[in-house]
Amino acid sequence: MSSLTWSSFPVPISRRTSSLTNPNYPITTIHKRNRWRFRCSIANDSPISPPISGDFNSPPLLDCVIVGAGISGLCIAQALATKHASVSPDVVVTEARDRVGGNISTVERDGYLWEEGPNSFQPSDPMLTMVVDSGLKDDLVLGDPTAPRFVLWGGGLKPVPSSPGDLPFFDLMSFPGKLRAGFGALGIRPPPPDREESVEEFVRRNLGDEVFERLIEPFCSGVYAGDPSKLSMKAAFGKVWKLEKNGGSIIGGAIKAIQARKNSTKPPRDPRLPKPQGQTVGSFRKGQAMLPNAISKSLGSKVKLSWKLISISKLENRGYNLTYETPNGFASLQTKTVVMTVPSYVASDLLRPLSSEAAEALSKFYYPPVAAVSVSYPKEAIRDDRLIDGQLKGFGQLHPRSQGVETLGTIYSSSLFPNRAPPGRVLLLNYIGGATNPGILSKTESQLVEAVDRDLRTMLINPKAGEPLTLGVKVWPRAIPQFLIGHFDILDAAKFALSEGGYRGMFLGGNYVSGVALGRCVESAYDVAADVSTFLSRGVYK
């Protein structure tokens, strides 16, 4: 526990001193059991910040308070610290739980290391920049770029083409299906309708039924745990949607995009960044949790754990007051800007007193349940026809809903990254549930394991193998926000309501804004940090 010294009067400290490099800078008022007290000294290692000093009617403001210490909130704070420190030196990240990371949860036990949330990320340059700035370059692990991915079809696991050029040589699709996809990609297909299309509508129209049923539908299950008949193509897979919009067809748009990249001047690549080879995915030596933990360590006392936000109020022409319930009583933070990175339904409740219209919009996003089931088998339990050079190799497998299995997909964790399982054992991470199967919430952990094991024995595990070793079952009742048709309209309505209500400096972030992939959350964090910096540089509250 941190040592606190209480007094009946505050010690005045100059606004010029940085709150987060000097532990004596005042940012917080603490009151306990209806008796107001102002702290005048605090241990250097304390997680609680000192109180407001000087003029109580006009306390100094933080530059930014980020609500939520999931990967989005932490990366926004890190981006502000590394890219915009001169504009936003005073930043605090608050988290209601007693740990950082949000849905990122890594468990290590008995020689196993497994994930209960996101398993990997695409090593884009923004992602790698965050990795390097967080001191994790040497802990980065990358999967084999040649590792095959499989889709269950017709009772067997079929390899997925790693690029469009590979499509003619794979047996996942028929020859007529490949022809239909090729002609459609060239633009020989029905024109787009005068409305927002679902993923299913867009893909069937452009690339045909087989591409949708055998590739895109299982991919939607793997990324969103979603229903492609309801997911918005524009919102969920915007890059592909833009290809047709900009080029008249998918291939036409791809050619235009390549030409635009050739004609544009790109800044030199950061020489600190690793150079991944091929189409690969990344993690860390000790799992995904290393990233939020490293960022939190870097931010130090800027991160406040077990701080539950109770209310937000607008200060007259000065920003916002945020009131928290903390382990040390109630606390208030005054800030120029706020970034809400909590799930949309949490943001809805918190923002309702400010804007019922914004709250109503934010309440409309749907988060279906998903369970992550980690099991282990001896290597001998793997079917012989699934072994390559005597080993289970590959990224994993996806299961279309039409194939009669309940599990959405399986990741070969011990094949993808090193030191995930003891010698002689195979670690498999399975996802079950999603928008098409919300009934998992009524199942017990043992029933979920039974469902996963039953599915695996139809295509990967020898039916006569012994029972699996169950490592962990993590059920996320509200797991992944669904980017349904109208998603952007709803998000824009929330932002517009805040703007029209005069709530300048209130920003929305998180995976329902950026996209659900971990890499997209990191990339968006840099954009949000830039927006905050631009707002602060205007000197609105000076």
Q: Which phi and psi angles does 111 have, rounded to 5°?
A: 85, 0
User: Which range has the worst mean pLDDT, 33-37, 341-345, 510-514, 524-528?
Assistant: 33-37
Pairing of strands 149-153, 396-398: parallel
Report pLDDT for 275: 94
Res 33 pLDDT > 90: no
Token pair of 275 as six digits = 């150079």
Res 6 pLDDT > 50: no
Q: Which of 100, 144, 512 is nearest to 288 (CA)?
A: 100
- Mean of the pLDDT values across residues 108-120? 97
- This prediction's pTM: 0.89
- Mean of the pLDDT values across residues 19-27? 40
Report pLDDT for 170: 86
Consecutive H or E run containing 106: strand 106-109
What are the pLDDT digits (tens) for 272-330? 999 999 889 999 999 999 999 999 999 999 999 999 999 999 998 789 999 999 999 99
Res 197 pLDDT > 50: yes
What are the pLDDT digits (tens) for 427-459? 999 999 999 999 999 999 999 999 999 999 999
Token pair of 69 as six digits = 């210490």
Q: Which amino acid is at 230?
A: K
Contacts 24+ apart (CB under 8 A), 348-354: 350/67, 350/309, 350/311, 350/312, 351/312, 351/498, 353/311, 353/312, 353/313, 354/312, 354/313, 354/314, 354/498, 354/501, 354/503, 354/506
Q: How confident is the model at residue 28 (pLDDT cuts 50, 70, 90)?
A: low
Consecutive H or E run containing 149: strand 149-153
- Mean of the pLDDT values across residues 164-181? 87
Please, are residues 244 and 192 in contact by the beta-carbon 8 Å criterion? yes
Res 39 pLDDT > 80: no
* Beta-carbon-side half-sphere exposure of residue 166 (alpha carbons within 13 Å): 10
Q: How confident is the model at residue 20 (pLDDT cuts 50, 70, 90)?
A: very low
Token pair of 488 as six digits = 């952007």
What average pLDDT does the chain have?
Answer: 89
> Does 27 or 426 have the greater pLDDT score?
426
- Mean of the pLDDT values across residues 532-539? 94
Q: Which amino acid is at 121?
A: F
Report pLDDT for 266: 83
In whole angstroms, give the CA distance from residue 289 to residue 103: 10
Pairing of strands 469-476, 370-378: antiparallel
- Mean of the pLDDT values across residues 400-404? 95
Q: How confident is the model at residue 168 (pLDDT cuts 50, 70, 90)?
A: confident
The residue length of the chain stands at 542
Please, are residues 355 and 498 in contact by the beta-carbon 8 Å criterion? yes
Consecutive H or E run containing 431: strand 425-433
Please, are residues 5 and 48 in contact by the beta-carbon 8 Å criterion? no
Report pLDDT for 163: 73
Strands of 15-90, DSSP E = 28-32, 35-42, 62-67
Token pair of 489 as six digits = 């309209």
Consecutive H or E run containing 115: strand 112-115
Q: CA geometry: angle at 285 spanning 281 and 289, to 5°?
A: 85
Pairing of strands 91-94, 303-304: parallel
| Rounded percentage of the chain residues whose pLDDT exceeds 70 | 88
Res 130 pLDDT > 70: yes
Strands of 291-424, DSSP E = 303-304, 308-315, 319-326, 329-340, 370-378, 396-398, 407-412
> Does 173 or 52 have the greater pLDDT score?
173
Consecutive H or E run containing 297: helix 290-299
Secondary structure letter of residue 158 according to DSSP: E
Report pLDDT for 8: 27
Report pLDDT for 542: 57
Report pLDDT for 62: 97
Report pLDDT for 15: 33
- Mean of the pLDDT values across residues 1-14? 30
Report pLDDT for 318: 81
> Does 155 or 24 have the greater pLDDT score?
155
SS3 category, 55: coil
| Rounded percentage of the chain residues whose pLDDT exceeds 90 | 82
In whole angstroms, give the CA distance from residue 66 to residue 68: 6
- Mean of the pLDDT values across residues 127-136? 98
Please, are residues 86 and 533 in contact by the beta-carbon 8 Å criterion? no
In whole angstroms, give the CA distance from residue 41 to residue 56: 18
Res 196 pLDDT > 60: yes
Q: How confident is the model at residue 58 (pLDDT cuts 50, 70, 90)?
A: low
